[in-house]
């Protein structure tokens, strides 16, 4: 284990990817110095405020580099519609002024060529860029997706209310001594925005912003004083796979995460990119960072899963309460019904899950739509009758409440429901498919969509349940995945749980390492199915890893296979459009 040490300056990484797959910056990827960046400051005048309903009447742009103007662009544009008189009073642009001006289809290519290769700058950039993008759509022109800087955003970061009452262009132009006064004409406003941009860049340099990449990050956010003060917590951590734990002064776990480069990932919490309020609140209480180093990413992911479900850290959300997951099972009654339970069914009990309550209820709906099993929650007795319901009256239930079937006869219906959970889902899929075709023929598409979604939820849940069960029943599975940089990432899996992990060195025979790992791995009691929701979550994470194309099976103790008549063969068989359902031998 590692603990964060004293404060020191962080070092540049060598370009290794972090937990999200992004590459850490190198000396060659820190951006272009701002003095070498070409900025194209643009301003538009329009007939209104909505880009998709109004037209452009004027474009003005100034191209600058190194603080010097290197080009200007200005033209009126015929918007192809009348200008609102209120807009004319504001800008001074009239219908007569734009009558002989070129249309946007002629102006746009010239402007894009003028701005090619430059970073676009605008005051309230969302407005101007929105109109330009819409103009590209109207003229079937490819939008070049240039970098964009919004001087309003920069001004909010770099000016105080004590200096300026607002961040309007005219107000900022006065603050930064613009020689041009904004007047709602495109070129003059662009010239004023140039002065504002230069003033803001000068202020940003005091915050260490010297390149276009740093400027882009600075525009997104500025690290809070709290983040800067606690940045030392990321010092001294290892650059390798593992789990990191933020702890408070009482040593309680606040937040648990995982990464292939722990040092880089933890450092990101103290950067401008981290804007989640929840995690900023966490940092306020954090006093140290503990790291558990792991052999590889899979072991780290499993360790994270176990620590979160066991410790319930307050700032984690995912995987925190596996015990809240739901199971579909048959009730223990003379006349069983399908029910949702938070308690895992006992060994050998037919079940689906664990899953969300929503998916569990949808899966029950599919089975109930296909089989005459009762859906009422009344506890029925074979000794006395109970009131009937509408499902019995329309033939959708065999009415055990009325004793129209014996306990033994109803047991056959319950057995079909058990097989729908543990075995072949084809009878359920075929029955629901037939019903979908009937609904589509009657143009009852909303009802058909509901039945379709229920069937999809059922098939998806059944497939997931069968996959986890098959891996657990396989006993010991040894697998190896290619490691970045050479070698193998080895995992010993026993009954759906990770029992051991190791990474072998490059160009070394992995078999001796595997033999030693099998001897020292955790002992797991034999199981035929997942024991609880936490077990299922770990098994599913292992299945995702095993499905990777670079992973190779080394040894499997017992047969590990999917049933030919199982739910996985129905994958993708539920169409999005209910009207597309056509039944043919129970399949689409």
Contact present, 45 and 74 (Cβ < 8 Å) = no
Record the tokens describing residue 352, joined without a space: 């689906």
Residue 570: per-residue pLDDT:
67
Question: Are 500 and 398 in contact, with CB atoms under 8 Å apart?
Answer: no
Active site residues: 184
pLDDT given at position 567: 75
Q: Does an H or E element contain 493, and which?
A: strand 488-494
Q: Is 495 left (phi over 0), alpha (psi -120 to 50) or beta?
A: left
CA-angle at 232, arms to 227 and 234, nearest 5°: 90
Burial class of 57 by CB neighbour count within 10 A (0 to 12, 13 to 18, 19+): buried
The reported pLDDT for the residue numbered 576 is 43
Domain borders along the chain are 2-26+221-311, 34-210, 324-461, 475-558
CA distance 24 to 13: 6
> Residue 22's pLDDT is what?
34
Q: Which residues of the chain are modeled with pLDDT < 50?
A: 1-29, 575-588
Average pLDDT, whole number, for the chain?
87
CA distance linking residue 342 with residue 356, whole number of Å: 10
Residue with tokens 């006064």: 181
- Options 3.40.50.920, 3.20.20.150, 1.10.1060.10, 3.30.420.10; which CATH number does 34-210 get? 3.30.420.10
pTM of the entire predicted model: 0.62
- Residue 485 DSSP symbol: T
Spell out where 495-586 has E strands: 497-503, 551-556
For residues 288 and 5, the answer to whether their CB atoms sit within 8 Å is no
| pLDDT (0 to 100) of residue 318 | 82
Model pLDDT, residue 2: 33
List strands edge to edge, sheet with 68-76: 68-76, 56-65, 38-46, 119-122, 148-150
CATH superfamily of 2-26+221-311: GIY-YIG endonuclease (3.40.1440.10)
């Amino acid at each position: 284990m590692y603990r964060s040490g004293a404060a020191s300056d962080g070092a540049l990484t060598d370009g290794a990817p972090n937990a999200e797959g992004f590459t850490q910056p190198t000396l060659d990827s820190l951006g272009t110095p701002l003095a070498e960046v070409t900025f194209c400051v643009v301003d538009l005048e329009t007939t209104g405020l909505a880009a998709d309903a109004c037209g452009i009447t004027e474009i003005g742009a100034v191209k600058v580099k190194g603080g010097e103007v290197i080009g200007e662009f200005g033209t009126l544009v015929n918007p192809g519609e009348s200008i609102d008189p209120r807009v004319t009073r504001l800008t001074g642009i009239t219908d007569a002024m734009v009558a002989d001006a070129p249309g946007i289809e002629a102006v746009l290519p010239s402007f894009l060529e003028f701005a090619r290769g430059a970073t676009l700058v605008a005051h309230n950039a969302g407005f101007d860029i929105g109109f330009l993008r819409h103009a590209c759509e109207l003229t079937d022109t490819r939008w070049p997706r240039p970098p964009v800087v919004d001087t309003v955003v920069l001004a909010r970061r770099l000016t105080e209310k004590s200096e300026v009452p607002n961040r309007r262009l005219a107000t900022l132009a006065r603050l930064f001594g613009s020689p041009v006064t904004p007047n709602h004409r495109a070129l003059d406003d662009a010239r004023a925005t140039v002065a504002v941009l230069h003033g803001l860049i000068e202020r940003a340099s005091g915050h260490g912003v010297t390149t276009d990449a740093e400027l882009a990050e600075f525009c997104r956010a500025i690290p809070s004083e709290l983040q800067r003060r606690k940045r030392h917590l990321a010092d001294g951590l290892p650059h390798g796979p593992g789990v990191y734990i933020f702890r408070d002064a009482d040593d309680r776990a606040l937040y648990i995460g995982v990464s292939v480069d722990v040092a880089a990932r933890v450092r990101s919490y103290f950067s401008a990119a981290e804007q989640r309020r929840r995690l900023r609140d966490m940092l306020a209480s954090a006093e140290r960072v503990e790291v558990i180093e792991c052999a590889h990413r899979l072991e780290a992911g499993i360790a994270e899963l176990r620590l979160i479900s066991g410790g319930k850290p307050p700032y984690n959300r995912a995987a925190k309460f596996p015990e809240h997951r739901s199971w579909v099972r048959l009730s223990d009654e003379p006349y069983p019904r399908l029910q949702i339970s938070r308690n895992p069914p006992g060994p050998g009990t037919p079940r689906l899950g664990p899953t969300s309550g929503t998916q569990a209820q949808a899966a029950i709906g599919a089975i109930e739509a296909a089989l005459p099993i009762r859906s009422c929650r009344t506890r029925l007795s074979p000794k006395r009758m109970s009131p009937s319901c509408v499902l019995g009256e329309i033939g959708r239930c065999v009415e055990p409440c009325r004793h129209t079937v014996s306990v033994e006869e109803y047991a056959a219906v319950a057995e079909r429901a058990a097989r729908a959970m543990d075995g072949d889902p084809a009878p359920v899929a075929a029955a629901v498919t037939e019903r979908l075709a009937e609904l589509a023929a009657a143009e009852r598409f909303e009802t058909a969509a509901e039945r379709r979604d229920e069937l999809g939820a059922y098939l998806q849940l059944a497939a997931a349940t069968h996959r986890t069960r098959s891996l657990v029943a396989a006993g010991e599975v040894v697998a190896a995945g290619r490691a970045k940089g050479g070698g193998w990432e080895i995992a010993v899996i026993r009954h759906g749980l990770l029992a051991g992990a190791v990474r072998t060195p490059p160009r070394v025979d992995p078999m001796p390492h595997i033999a030693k790992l099998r001897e020292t791995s955790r002992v797991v009691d034999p199981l035929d199915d997942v024991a609880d929701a936490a077990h299922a979550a770990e098994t599913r994470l292992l299945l995702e890893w095993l499905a990777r194309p670079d992973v190779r099976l080394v040894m499997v103790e017992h047969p590990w296979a999917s049933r030919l008549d199982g739910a996985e063969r129905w994958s993708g068989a539920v169409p999005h459009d209910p009207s597309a359902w056509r039944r043919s031998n129970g399949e689409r």
